[in-house]
């Protein structure tokens, strides 16, 4: 069931018992977790935090930590699964779901006691009525058997048989309608409101919010925008709401806040202003940032020789010498740094890079700590996806969590350097694929298989970089293709996941023309696997990401093409 009053029906209910926090490996989930941790710390609450990468992780984490636990909070995980059926919890256990994945499982929505979904149902989420998908016919059958035993007359039997036939026909009709309704409801997978935003709003209603919390909510919403998880209209609305919260918290009168908060406000400053949406440009060189940002790379076609020439022309026309553009931004001449945004704005129309002119939130702490929200997101994504044989994913999760701490700048800086490597690898791989024309058409969708043996392949063993690569390539393909249908085609990208056991990773993204990014690949992957008896690992909470055996990939793609034809 949905819980709309989070303070009364969630926070007060969990205050007296130790909680189990199961948190998915994504930036929004980490930000929501960080806000909850701050609230728990302020109220001296005890909790256990376990990061979970997939469904098997979640089941294992619950089984290992469920003793003496009454409240389980699931952040960006579990909402699309029948939790009671999957985890078989004791009757006293209550699950609180804070999940941006959609659609929710109907058993969770209509659970009356053990499952509580935090927040209200989305306006455009067409949830079926209870009676359309749940039905109990056992009482009718019992009544029929009892009447047959008590009355042996043939007339009565005939009438009851006719009633039984009618009931069976009704049940068959209801089952067919139910299958259609469930298919329509679960056909597309998509994302809802940021979980970090939802938790921040709860803290605000409880009058326990502060500038740190609003910053974490900003980072969570920024991740959704960068990875195209939600439509741009919702991102703009969230941005406006967060800007009003920043303004309110910054301008609180001295009498309304305690001394600690006054001191905090004197050293933390969050600004919302016009900015360039170039990746990491304050911590990189101007040339590298222009090359590795998707809008400029696509508009200038930087994967081609002509694109490189246009980039040099742009820098020259801006009056930015190559020597300056290849220095770290912070080392450039002060005048050039101050005028850089105006230089770009002046030529944005001519070079068709208008989309990089926007607004952003920036956090400043002291003299040396100044980062915009997208810097933090790229840093956290790179840290989160840097696991290896030597470094466990759980360690990467905790490092990504530390990126949100103002006192651990070294981890954040390390993340920024990793993010540069990640973005460079994405660009180089996209450039190679676009130049070699490795994008194939399966009729109803496009697909790419990343060749083995590349030095950057280790980056694409992880879901987030592979999704970012797919989005970059699809935008570039649509922008440069002469085919009018190109904007209508979704894209599937696959790369080696684990060479030792011969598995590959596969992601599907919706078409470029979809402003509301809803993907049909979750259900399509599932059906294609059934049709071919392929053993896919649909372990991720995002159903559009799967793993499967490399030798079964060609057969699976053929089945997918036949299914979507």
Q: Is the pLDDT of residue 121 over 90?
A: no
- pLDDT single digits (tens) 95-106: 999 999 999 999
Q: Is the pLDDT of residue 173 over 80?
A: yes
- pLDDT single digits (tens) 331-348: 888 888 888 888 888 888
- pLDDT single digits (tens) 396-432: 999 999 999 988 889 999 999 999 999 999 999 999 9
Predicted local distance difference test score (pLDDT) of residue 517: 86
Cα separation, 156 vs 139, whole angstroms: 19
Average pLDDT over residues 264-268: 64
Q: What is the largest CA-CA distance in the chain?
A: 103
Q: Is the pLDDT of residue 254 over 70?
A: no
Predicted local distance difference test score (pLDDT) of residue 156: 56
Please report, for the chain, the start and end positions of each structural domain, with discontinuous segments joined by +.
131-186, 276-354+373-424, 439-564
Confidence of residue 454 (pLDDT cuts 50, 70, 90): confident
Cβ neighbours of residue 149 under 8 Å, at least 6 residues apart? none
Q: Is the pLDDT of residue 136 over 80?
A: no
Predicted local distance difference test score (pLDDT) of residue 232: 83
Predicted local distance difference test score (pLDDT) of residue 6: 85
Confidence of residue 154 (pLDDT cuts 50, 70, 90): low
Token pair listed for 207:
């009058």
- pLDDT single digits (tens) 316-334: 988 888 888 888 988 888 8
Confidence of residue 514 (pLDDT cuts 50, 70, 90): confident
**Greater confidence, 248 or 159?**
248
- pLDDT single digits (tens) 215-241: 999 999 999 999 999 988 888 888 999
Cβ neighbours of residue 511 under 8 Å, at least 6 residues apart? 474, 487, 488, 489, 490
- pLDDT single digits (tens) 523-555: 999 999 999 988 898 899 999 999 999 999 999
Cβ neighbours of residue 517 under 8 Å, at least 6 residues apart? 190, 191, 228, 229, 230, 231, 509, 510
Cβ neighbours of residue 320 under 8 Å, at least 6 residues apart? 286, 336, 340, 343
For the domain bounded by 439-564, which CATH number is listed? 3.10.310
Confidence of residue 158 (pLDDT cuts 50, 70, 90): low
Mean pLDDT, all residues of the chain = 87
Confidence of residue 508 (pLDDT cuts 50, 70, 90): very high
């Amino acid at each position: 069931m949905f819980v709309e009053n989070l303070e009364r029906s969630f926070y007060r209910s969990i205050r007296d018992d130790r909680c189990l926090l199961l948190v998915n490996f994504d930036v929004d989930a980490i930000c929501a977790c960080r806000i909850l941790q701050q609230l728990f710390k302020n109220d001296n609450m005890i909790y256990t935090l376990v990061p979970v990468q997939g469904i098997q992780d979640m089941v294992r984490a619950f089984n290992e930590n469920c003793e003496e636990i009454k409240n389980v909070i699931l952040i960006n995980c579990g909402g699309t699964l029948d939790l009671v059926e999957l985890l078989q919890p004791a009757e006293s256990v209550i699950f609180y779901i804070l999940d941006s994945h959609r659609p929710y499982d109907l058993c969770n929505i209509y659970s009356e006691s053990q499952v509580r979904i935090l927040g209200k149902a989305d306006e455009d989420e067409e949830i079926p009525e209870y009676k359309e998908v749940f039905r109990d016919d056992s009482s009718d059958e019992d009544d029929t058997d009892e009447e047959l035993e008590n009355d042996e007359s043939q007339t009565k039997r005939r009438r009851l048989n006719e009633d039984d036939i009618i009931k069976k026909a009704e049940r068959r009709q209801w089952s067919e309608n139910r299958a259609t309704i469930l298919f329509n409801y679960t056909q597309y997978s998509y994302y809802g409101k940021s979980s970090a935003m939802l938790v921040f709003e709860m803290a605000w209603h409880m009058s326990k919010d502060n500038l740190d919390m609003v910053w974490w909510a900003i980072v969570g919403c920024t991740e959704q925008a960068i990875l195209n998880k939600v439509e741009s209209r919702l991102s703009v609305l969230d941005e406006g709401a967060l800007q009003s919260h920043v303004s309110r918290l910054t301008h609180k009168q001295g009498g309304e806040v305690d001394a600690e908060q006054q001191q905090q406000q004197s050293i933390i400053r969050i600004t919302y202003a016009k900015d360039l949406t170039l990746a990491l440009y304050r911590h990189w060189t101007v040339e590298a940032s222009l090359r590795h940002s998707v809008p400029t790379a696509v508009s200038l076609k930087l994967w081609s020789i002509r694109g490189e020439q246009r980039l040099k022309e742009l820098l020259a026309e801006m009056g930015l010498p190559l020597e300056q553009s290849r220095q770290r931004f912070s080392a450039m001449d002060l005048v050039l740094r101050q005028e850089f945004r105006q230089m770009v704005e002046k030529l944005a129309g001519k070079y068709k890079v208008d989309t990089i002119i926007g607004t952003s939130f920036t956090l400043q702490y002291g003299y040396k700590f100044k980062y915009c929200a997208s810097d933090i997101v790229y840093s956290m994504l790179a840290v989160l996806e840097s696991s290896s044989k030597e470094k466990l994913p759980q360690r990467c999760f905790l490092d990504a969590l530390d990126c949100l701490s103002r006192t651990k700048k070294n981890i954040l800086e390390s993340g920024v350097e990793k993010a540069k490597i990640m973005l460079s690898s994405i660009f180089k791989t996209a450039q190679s694929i676009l130049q070699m024309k490795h994008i194939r058409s399966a009729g109803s969708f496009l697909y790419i298989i990343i060749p083995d043996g590349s030095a950057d392949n280790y980056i694409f063993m992880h879901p987030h970089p592979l999704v970012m690569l797919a989005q970059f390539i699809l935008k570039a393909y649509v922008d440069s293709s002469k085919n009018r249908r190109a904007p209508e085609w979704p894209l599937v990208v696959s790369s080696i996941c684990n060479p030792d056991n011969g598995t590959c990773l596969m992601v599907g993204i919706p078409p470029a023309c979809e402003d509301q990014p809803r993907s049909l690949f979750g259900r399509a992957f599932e059906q294609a696997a059934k049709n071919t008896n392929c053993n896919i690992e649909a372990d991720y909470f995002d159903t559009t990401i799967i793993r499967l055996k490399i030798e079964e990939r060609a057969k699976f793609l053929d089945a997918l093409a036949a299914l979507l034809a």
